[in-house]
Chains A and B, each alone.
Chain A
Amino acid sequence: EVQLVQSGGGLVRPGGSLRLSCAASGFTISDKYMSWVRQAPGKGLEWVSVVYSGGNTFYADSVRGRFTVSRDNSKNMLFLQINNLRAEDTAVYYCAREPMMDVWGKGTTVTVSS
């Protein structure tokens, strides 16, 4: 079965860091590009980042310089390193398979609060 299993969310103080994980099964992530999307409480969807199979990465302006997306092809996993967290980063974070974001993880919640 094709699926994405997410982990790594939690409660973090402003300025803190987290690493979100997204484990793929049923397909090989090295063959695909992968995205991260987030959704603040009660708000709409916001695209965060994409990593291409060749390694190129792109980010939303709101996270560039603080967020880093990476892959471990040997473990078939995707990661999002989030640094210098702000209150406005509080959201459910989803990983999704490209192209077309046809497969999504269930999401992991990041709460930034003192």
Chain B
Amino acid sequence: DIQMTQSPSSVSASVGDRVTITCRASQNMNSWLDWFQQKPGKAPKLLIYAASTLQSGVPSRFSGSRSGTDFTLTINSLQPEDFATYYCLQVDTFPWTFGQGTKVEIK
């Protein structure tokens, strides 16, 4: 199974900050990795698919990239509505696996 190690588990940031979240795959994989945002009591929302493609309607301050087995979600100029928990999901190999999540909190 491909394990996705997501870091950090939480981050405190201020409005306007840049936040970077990383998922490291336990083995080589293709760029079949998606990023989701989840707010309390709500279903997840797709932000990025195929590692770097922005989902329609998602603000351009969100971006995704890949370097080897490291996948990164970057939020530029953090906005109040961005305080949430973020998850990566690899859909390269069954069983699909989520990262453990990163909670972005207000500093």
Residue positions of A touching B, CB distance < 8 A: 37, 44-47, 50, 58-61, 94, 99-102, 104-107
Question: Is there contact, CB below 8 Å, between A104 and B44?
Answer: yes
Residue positions of B touching A, CB distance < 8 A: 1, 34, 36, 38, 43-46, 49, 55, 87, 89, 94-101
Contacts known (A44-B87, A45-B87, A106-B43); A100 close to B95, Cβ less than 8 A:
no
Question: Is there contact, CB below 8 Å, between B98 and A47?
Answer: yes
Looking at the assembled complex, report how far the CB atom of B42 sits from the nearest CB atom of chain A, in whole angstroms: 8
Q: 10 other contacts beyond A47-B98, A94-B44, A102-B46, with CB at 8 A cut-off? A: A37-B44, A45-B101, A47-B89, A50-B96, A61-B1, A100-B55, A101-B36, A102-B49, A104-B44, A104-B45
Query: In the complex, which of the residues A44, A58, A94, A105 has the most CB atoms of chain B within 10 Å of its own CB atom?
Result: A44
Question: Is there contact, CB below 8 Å, between B36 and A45?
Answer: yes
Inter-chain CA distance A37–B18, complex, in Å, is: 29
